[in-house]
Amino acid sequence: MMKKGFILLILYIFCLHPFTVQGEEPAKIKEIRVEGNQRIEADAILHVIKARQGDAYDAEALSRDLKAVYDMGYFDDIRVEVEKAPDGATVIFRVTEKPTIREIGFEGNKVYEDEKIQENLDISSGSILNIYKIRRNIKIIESLYKERNYHNVVVTHRIEPLEHNQADLKFVINEGKKLQIKHIEFDGNSAYDAKKLKKVMKTSEKGFFSWITSSGDLNQETLNQDVLKLNAFYHNSGYAEARIADPEISYEENDILIKIKIEEGARYKMGRVGFEGDLIMPEEELLALLSSTARREPYYNRDAIRQDILTLTDIYSDQGYARADIAPEVETDRENLVTHLTFHIVKNQPVYFERIVIYGNTKTRDKVIRRELKVYEQELFNGKRLKQSIQDLHRLDFFEDIKVKTPTGSADDQMVLEIEVQEKATGTFSFGGGYSGRDGAYIMASVSERNLFGRGQYTEVRLTTGGKYRQYYFNFVEPWLFDIPLSSGVTAYKMERDYDDYDRDSTGGSLQLGYPLFRFTRGYIEYAYDKSRIDNLSMAFMASPYIQETTYEESSVSLSVIYDSRNRVINPSEGSKHRVTLQYAGIGGNVGFTKLTGEAGRYFPLFWGTVGFLHTEAGYVADHSGKELPDYERFYLGGIDSLRGFDWRDIHCVTEDGTEIGGDTYVQGNAEFIFPIIKKAQLMGLVFYDTGNVYDKGSLRLDDLRESAGFGIRWYSPMGPLRLERGYVLDKQPGEDSGRWEFSMGGSF
């Protein structure tokens, strides 16, 4: 084929485009000119011509130059003419340029708009009309359609000549019919039927609702991933020698057929698991640490072996062997259908952190980052503490991204820990308004900073005002007092709240100290002072022993233990938050009580990005002899932060004379199923179930809990969480509403 092409090229040059030479063949070239070009500059053409003025005349060399000019792709016709003169020859390359494209158009396209097709092409108006480019772009258009499963698409082109050496280019598209997968067939499977194997795959056959679900659509990349999934499925089910062939795809007139050949092989049980090489602990202890992996699998499981490798790597890295080599060897006993696994371990030399380098932080001070690290320079490498350090940096919520690199240091046993952070905005200014069942209509403005002056300090100033609630609030937290992990905080507030039966005007504040006790666990001690004046007491409420039109002065000390392992403070997807608080009021003032409250909540990922949440809390309060226990320190339930569907403080106790009072005991439980609506915007939906009740005189019964259920949406906006939820009372009693909508802006459970 190459010889034939060469012969055709020679015939083309010497027969169709012969040189014109006047007189005898000259001895040398006096001048080289280009004529006939209008748009292509002569210098650009002369650049590809190898012949130069003064060179000896060589017909073969000029033939090669002609081909080079033709290969530029800009010309329909090229002739080389030679004019003889006594002092040499003038060589003229006479060219006829190809037309330029004035417009590019499309015909027959319905699936794609013209603009969508055009943005994928590499040919545009004003470019030279090149048949090779046209053919390449035809393939681009066909590929675009095949991505949408129009595999029978046919694309042709039409050139419409115009004046001034221009032309319009039309791509004519016959889209054909969209093809979908009619049948997926497996060949060679006996252990699992086709129905089971299809569940492993994301690619599926066309279904009744395919126009909604996109079932039956063929995506080659997804199909390739499905082959890997099938392969992993067999290898994780004991079929160590299973092989999955590349799918055979057949395109018919209206359908797509897929055939996948499978060689299952025999199913192997898991035999002994052993170790060879450098063991840093007895073999029995290593085996015990492989808790959910290969040694506990009844059959050969490739993923379990991979998990074992990661577990062993972590074990060795926690002892400083950051570059340990773990190589599994699988021995197959075909006679007994058993596989034996041996981990060959080379621990290599221990590695030390030579230095820790932090960069990317333009605001956050180095020491704020370093104090969160559990690893130190010149210390033995520890993989577990390094992972914990990165987790703690993420939990600060100061950084958009954190990258860790561990290049080799000045020696083989030295490692440099490089931490690159990408900071994000930590200050917020919020202004907005809304409505909640507890506070009525309100407007709110706040300024907060989570990383004040790059020191990791938190401060907030907030103003809220509305029909039932007004508050001025200030908070400041220093997380590392005296450069030790001792947190300190101060709050001050002035608050006015209109309850149903009285008004409360309060001024107060608190001082708090906190210190880490265990991983994710901190202990707190807090002193709080509150002075509340009670006004506008309704006559219907005068008989209550728990509220009077007077001034209450409350001075209290609280002890709290909080465990918080949530992966994020805002919109968490896993982790727990538990709290136990004991408050003693009566250090001066006329208010005295002991209150014990506790709560437990856990988030756990489910499927398709959904999250489950379980939460419960309970409390008990007892007054002190000779002191007051005001009604607002007793327990009520109802509203968006407790039992949704009930109004705020709707669940209460009733005295014998019919007076509504708060309880001295309560219990509450909540369950939520949270799912993403627009994940990137952090817009979430949820369904929920709430239950709980309040009790008086220390009685606590779980057989008469109130219940509600409902749905809602949450938007974790820059201004804070926005919640719109609808609750339905499941055990409606006479005189109660069947449910209600709730809206709030602020935190949740």
Decide: 721 and 698 in contact? Cβ < 8 Å.
no
Taking only the tens place, the pLDDT of each residue in 678-701 is 988 889 999 999 999 999 886 777
Whether residue 259 has pLDDT greater than 90 = yes
Give the pLDDT of residue 207: 82
Give the pLDDT of residue 22: 47
Give the pLDDT of residue 648: 81
Give the pLDDT of residue 664: 92
Range 659-673 average pLDDT: 93
Range 193-219 average pLDDT: 86
Beta bridge partners of 523: 515, 561
Counted domains in the chain:
6
Whether residue 180 has pLDDT greater than 80 = yes
Taking only the tens place, the pLDDT of each residue in 589-643 is 999 999 999 999 999 999 989 999 999 999 999 999 989 999 899 999 998 889 9
Whether 377 and 444 share a structural domain: no
Q: Comparing 1 with 511, which gets the higher pLDDT?
A: 511
Whether residue 370 has pLDDT greater than 90 = yes
Q: What is the full DSSP assignment across 224-283?
A: HHHHHHHHHHHHTTT-TT-EEPPPEEEE-SSEEEEEEEEE-----EEEEEEEEE--SS-H
Whether 567 and 491 share a structural domain: yes
Range 54-63 average pLDDT: 88
Give the pLDDT of residue 693: 96
Give the pLDDT of residue 640: 86
Whether 623 and 715 share a structural domain: yes
Whether residue 539 has pLDDT greater than 80 = no
Where does 540-599 have alpha helices with state H? none
Last residue of some domain: 174, 207, 227? 174
List the structure tokens of 664.
């001295």
- Of 61-70, 255-264, 362-371, which gets the smallest average pLDDT? 61-70
Whether 136 and 73 share a structural domain: no
Alpha-carbon gap, residue 188 to 359, rounded angstroms: 56
Whether residue 17 has pLDDT greater than 50 = no
Whether residue 197 has pLDDT greater than 90 = yes
Residue with tokens 């690893």: 375
Give the pLDDT of residue 544: 56
CB atoms near residue 682 (< 10 Å): 16
Whether 405 and 550 share a structural domain: no
Residue with tokens 């988030």: 603
Whether residue 541 has pLDDT greater than 50 = no
Whether 143 and 237 share a structural domain: no
Taking only the tens place, the pLDDT of each residue in 735-745 is 888 898 887 76
> What percent of the chain has a predicted confidence (pLDDT) above 90?
59
Across the chain, what does the average pLDDT equal?
88
Whether 442 and 456 share a structural domain: yes
Whether 579 and 465 share a structural domain: yes
Q: Which domain holds residue 282?
A: 269-346
pLDDT band at 537 (very low <50, low <70, confident <90, very high): confident
Last residue of some domain: 41, 66, 97? 97
Give the pLDDT of residue 436: 54
Whether 105 and 92 share a structural domain: no
Give the pLDDT of residue 14: 42
Single-letter amino acid code for the residue at 318: D
Whether residue 11 has pLDDT greater than 70 = no
pLDDT band at 434 (very low <50, low <70, confident <90, very high): low
Give the pLDDT of residue 313: 93
Taking only the tens place, the pLDDT of each residue in 124-175 is 888 888 888 899 999 999 999 988 889 889 999 999 988 888 899 999 999 9
Beta bridge partners of 618: 598, 667
Whether 160 and 184 share a structural domain: no
Strand 469-481 vs strand 486-498: parallel, antiparallel, or unpaired?
antiparallel
List the structure tokens of 298.
């009844």
Whether residue 4 has pLDDT greater than 90 = no
Contacts of residue 279, Cβ cutoff 8 Å, sequence gap at least 6:
286, 345
What CATH code is carried by the domain that includes residue 380? Answer: 3.10.20.310
Q: Comparing 438 with 446, which gets the higher pLDDT?
A: 446
Whether 408 and 556 share a structural domain: no
Range 272-277 average pLDDT: 91
The model's pTM is: 0.66
Last residue of some domain: 206, 235, 263? 263
Taking only the tens place, the pLDDT of each residue in 308-367 is 999 999 999 999 999 999 999 999 999 999 999 999 999 999 999 999 999 999 999 999
Give the pLDDT of residue 215: 82
Whether residue 6 has pLDDT greater than 50 = no
Whether 549 and 608 share a structural domain: yes
Q: What is the full DSSP assignment across 132-200?
A: HHHHHHHHHHHHHHHHTT-TT-EEEEEEEEETTTEEEEEEEEE--PPPEEEEEEEES--SS-HHHHHHH
